[in-house]
Structure 1
């Protein structure tokens, strides 16, 4: 087994094509989790234009690439998943049956530790370092939108009935409802970013779009389009005005949901929920298998989902003092966050406090 590490600009067209082919074939060969667009070469290369230290380890057997491991590396040899904290799916993309030793891989990459927070299932060499697993809800649409809607009516009849009624009321009160699955107008993307930034501030959360690299990353991905990958902006209009929008990533089979937001002036119509139903319909029409709503407990996800995937967080380490020190710093913060978000009696008062801070910030 030969492991070679490349800077993003050094990756050959042949290796990139092999990476894409491995993802394309994964659902047919029993590893559908590897088809997620966050694991695509396009995502890693886009992050590399905004962040330093991005590397790709290409593993070969008999001269042929069999696995690809994207990561970010600090000068001290601390490794993290590419765009950790922003990416919703992480891991090593590989051919079926490929086995690896996590510590040997870290050594070849010059890493003492590799941290992840959305590790996909089936990565046993990395799972040994997982500190917890979490649900990542999905919407299954492989059998078509009508089939999904029938499932939704059976499991959440009141939710489905109410949401569809609100869409009709939106049309009556605000004007004709129109959905664009793949909106190419950059001005609408800017509107979505403004909505999302305001939502972060209003709810007391850290505004991700205040960080220039995330803003730049989203804009780059919006303009990235290949047969196997694209940044997808989906928009719900009413009376010719955008009322809800979502920016996510799509591969051949998966639409990864990422940044949804809506105009608060239309909140009573639940435009975000209407948008997600329209997204499911549009993705089904394009032959996708599911929408990945991403890790995190949210009421709207529970209402829309058909099942859960599982993602893990944690780190794999070599015996190295840098790795030990890094984990000692990071572990208490992760444990505290997960304790609060995983227990309603702690999360609800914390959420109320954040929203109160958000109102103060907004001068409301």
Structure 2
């Protein structure tokens, strides 16, 4: 087995084709964040982006996208925004994590949303959670029937609010794969305002994130796309979502809505309309990410899949120093996440801070 480290732009057509075959042959790897398209786009906005190409005598057997920072410390590619990470590999392939990191020039590698069935990293997991998945391979009507049986009050309430929005504001319509850059800017403005209200870091406050999503929004192929979905009432945009998809899998990334219409739950209506449109294109599932107690995610959920976070450290002085710097903070965070009361208190405190910060900007 040979491991070579390259920049994403150096991936050739044969390697990209092999990468796509690996994704198609393993449904749990058929995630847009694990696609070569996302890796290449990250390489265009980050000088730290790398790919380890793992080959045997008959060709590539795996691809490991990562970021290489200073001092031998690395992280999952696009770790601040990526919702799926790991090695894309040929079925049955086996890897040694220590040898892989050594070939990548890393003594430490951190991951935050590792996909399932990556046994070479399993010993290094520090937190295991469940991501919510909506299945609609049988079509939108079948999905609604299952949702009606699973969450009847949720569906009834959402459909009622959609009708009321139509009566009060105007006809409710939806678009999938909107190309208008002005609509995309509007969605980002909504999302930035939401981050501020919640007291959380604004993803779109980083120039590289804005450049990344704009590049991904421009891609629209059978294998990969960055669709922007919008919901309108009386012709006025009231909610939207920007996510990524492969041919069969879509992932929820940046949903947002106009707070003026919050009483109608436009975000929920938009999600249902988005599923309807995606199903017509042959997409069969939507991954909404970790629930964290979200009522709407739990109501929509068809099934869950495990995602993990953790850190791989090789035996080295650099890894030991990294442990001393980061482990105390990691343990405190884990303690809070494992305690619902503490997590709720922390979430409420962040939202109070967000309201104060927003009030200070508008006062």
The two structures have a TM-score, normalised by structure 2, of 0.96
Where structure 1 has 5 or more consecutive residues not aligned to the other structure, the ranges are: 27-31
SS at match of 2:84: coil
Distance in 2 of aligned mates of 1:114 and 1:354: 29
Distance in 1 of aligned mates of 2:337 and 2:174: 34
Question: Quick check: 1:23 aligned with 2:23?
Answer: yes
Q: Residue 308 of structure 2: which of 306, 312, 323 is its match? A: 312
Question: Quick check: 1:34 aligned with 2:29?
Answer: yes
Give the C-alpha shift of residue 7 in structure 1. Answer: 1.2
Give the C-alpha shift of residue 9 in structure 1. Answer: 2.1
Distance in 1 of aligned mates of 2:201 and 2:131: 22
Give the C-alpha shift of residue 112 in structure 1. Answer: 0.7
Give the equivalent residue in structure 1 for 2:102: 107
Distance in 1 of aligned mates of 2:345 and 2:127: 24
Which range moved further: 103-112 or 143-152?
Answer: 143-152
Whether the 8 Å contact between 1:232 and 1:248 is mirrored in structure 2 is yes
Cα shift readout 1:120-154 (whole Å, capped 9, x = no counterpart): 11000011111121010110111211221112111
Question: Quick check: 1:335 aligned with 2:323?
Answer: no
Distance in 2 of aligned mates of 1:302 and 1:339: 23
The two structures have a TM-score, normalised by structure 1, of 0.95
Give the equivalent residue in structure 1 for 2:223: 228
Give the equivalent residue in structure 2 for 1:359: 355
Whether the 8 Å contact between 2:25 and 2:91 is mirrored in structure 1 is no
Instruction: Give the aligned CA root-mean-square deviation in angstroms.
Output: 1.3
Whether the 8 Å contact between 2:127 and 2:334 is mirrored in structure 1 is no
Which range moved further: 347-356 or 261-270?
Answer: 347-356
Give the C-alpha shift of residue 335 in structure 1. Answer: 2.9
Cα shift readout 1:303-359 (whole Å, capped 9, x = no counterpart): 111111000110122111111222332233233233323432112222222222112
Question: Quick check: 1:164 aligned with 2:159?
Answer: yes
Give the equivalent residue in structure 2 for 1:2: 2
Please show how residues 151-300 of structure 1 align to structure 2 within 5 Å: 151-297=146-292, 298-300=294-296
Give the equivalent residue in structure 2 for 1:29: none
Please show how residues 116-131 of structure 1 align to structure 2 within 5 Å: 116-131=111-126
Question: Quick check: 1:76 aligned with 2:61?
Answer: no
Please show how residues 76-95 of structure 1 align to structure 2 within 5 Å: 76-95=71-90
SS at match of 1:312: strand
Give the C-alpha shift of residue 46 in structure 1. Answer: 0.9
Which range moved further: 242-251 or 15-24?
Answer: 15-24
Distance in 2 of aligned mates of 1:338 and 1:190: 35
Distance in 2 of aligned mates of 1:320 and 1:69: 22
Q: How many residues align?
A: 359
Which range moved further: 353-362 or 107-116?
Answer: 353-362
SS at match of 1:154: helix
Q: Residue 53 of structure 1: which of 33, 37, 48 is its match? A: 48
